[in-house]
Structure 1
Amino acid sequence: MAIVLSNSSGKPIYEQITEQIKSEILTGVRQAGEQMPSIRTLAKDLRVSVITTKRAYEELERDGFVETVPGRGTYVALQNRQALREEQYRRAEAKLLEAVEIAKGAGITEKELTGCLHELYGGGDA
């Protein structure tokens, strides 16, 4: 599993793990029914606490990305990938709306905000 963690990102480690696994599922890197690493294995590989990986898996399960089968492990959930993508899109849209409201209140122009988004998104390289 290619999860990259950053202590300086400002996001909790469990959230970084959750976001990256969601991305792998939404982009098809991880397929429905595929077994996930155990909580302990992932914790060891990432050099984080078991509590951190457990919380990430709980978030993934709550959001419908994985299913845990007692005594067997955790698996990528059978789901409608398009529905999950649309849900993530709605969440991003809500955050962008919040950013627009803040920008308008601060007198930041649409062009400035768009430039900021472009830069944050990777300058169009993605």
Structure 2
Amino acid sequence: MNIFIDNKSGAPIYDQIYSQIKNQIISGTLQEDEALPSIRNLAKDLRISVVTTKRAYDELEKEGFIYTVAAKGCFVAPKNVELLREENLKKIEDYMRKIAQLAASCNLTKRDILEMFDIIEEE
């Protein structure tokens, strides 16, 4: 598992860890029931506080991406297809908002955007 902390990003460190692990689970890089590094080991490897790592793991568990087995550690939860679909829908909505903002700055109409999408889809 690869986690990179960007101190210049402005995003909280726990959120960077959370996002990167979540993305690796969604993409399939981390497989169902795969063990994650212990909270202490990950904190040590990243040279951050155990509290920060625990917060990221707690968020992942709360959202159903990982589960914890007492005295064993944290593992990737079985993929919930509906949860993954919702995550992807949120991403699509975010991209669409950005497209709408860019389109407005270029005076593009909805029709122009749909034509562009049709061309891209055909490629």
Same fold (TM over 0.5): yes
Residue 29 of structure 1, CA deviation: 1.3
Query: Any gaps of 5 or more consecutive residues in structure 2?
Result: 114-123
TM-superposed deviation, 1:93: 3.3
Counterpart for residue 108 of structure 1: 105
Tell me the residue number matched to 1:52.
52
TM-score (norm. length: structure 1): 0.74
TM-score, normalised to structure 2, is: 0.75
* Equivalent residue number for residue 65 of structure 1: 65
Instruction: Tell me if 1:86 matches 2:82.
Output: no
Long gaps (5+) in structure 1: 115-126
Distance 1:48 1:94 in 2: 33
- How many residue pairs were aligned? 109
In structure 2, what residue type is equivalent to 1:108?
A: S
Give a deviation string over 1:10-66, Cα, whole Å, max 9, x none. Answer: 111111111111111111111111111110000001111001100000110011100
SS at match of 1:29: coil
Q: 5 Å matches for 1:6-85?
A: 6-80=6-80, 82-85=81-84
Bigger-Rg structure (1/2): 2
Q: How far, CA to CA, are the matches of 2:102 and 2:79 in structure 1?
A: 36
The C-alpha deviation readout for 1:76-116, integer Å capped at 9, x for no partner, is 11123x43331112222343455467667xx52359xx9xx
Q: Distance in 1 between matches of 2:105 and 2:40?
A: 46
